[in-house]
């Protein structure tokens, strides 16, 4: 009887805890290691067919500076595509970034 009770308690406890992906920290420090201002930054769930809105909005990230962004779109996803647009229009793109595993993304 005791092993069955222990198993039942463990099953109930497991059902109460969110999955690892749901509980994961999706905050990413975006570092501008380039020599140009970072004008736009996009992070879109890999299942999307287009880029979401510019996360920086009207803000600019100067060279040598960083900003921490919560890359959580509410879907529970961990994989996102990143697009950084620098002054002058140069683009830096990184696909399939696991934001549940990384804490820093550097734009060079």
Can you give the three-state secondary structure of 21-40, one letter per residue? HHHCCCEEEEEECCCCCEEE
What is the model's pLDDT at position 24?
Answer: 85
What is the model's pLDDT at position 71?
Answer: 96
Distance CA 25, CA 18 (A): 13
DSSP-derived letter for residue 88 is T
106: β partners: 31
Is-contact 71 43, C-beta < 8 A?
yes
Domains of the chain: 20-107 (2.60.40.2890)
What is the model's pLDDT at position 3?
Answer: 56
Is-contact 83 95, C-beta < 8 A?
no
DSSP-derived letter for residue 103 is S
Q: Look up the pTM and report it.
A: 0.79
Question: Mean pLDDT in the chain?
Answer: 88
Split at pLDDT 50, 70, 90, the class of 17 is very low
Over range 73-95, report the average pLDDT. 97
């Amino acid at each position: 009887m005791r092993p069955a009770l222990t198993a039942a308690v463990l099953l109930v406890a497991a059902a109460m805890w969110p999955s690892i992906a749901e509980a994961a920290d999706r905050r990413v420090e975006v570092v501008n290691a380039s020599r140009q201002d970072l004008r736009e930054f996009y992070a879109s769930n890999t299942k999307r067919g287009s880029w979401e809105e510019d996360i920086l909005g009207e803000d600019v990230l100067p060279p040598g500076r960083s900003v921490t962004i919560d890359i959580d779109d509410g879907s529970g996803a961990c994989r996102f595509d990143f697009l950084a647009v620098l002054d002058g229009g140069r683009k830096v793109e990184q696909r399939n970034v696991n934001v549940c595993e990384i804490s820093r993304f550097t734009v060079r």
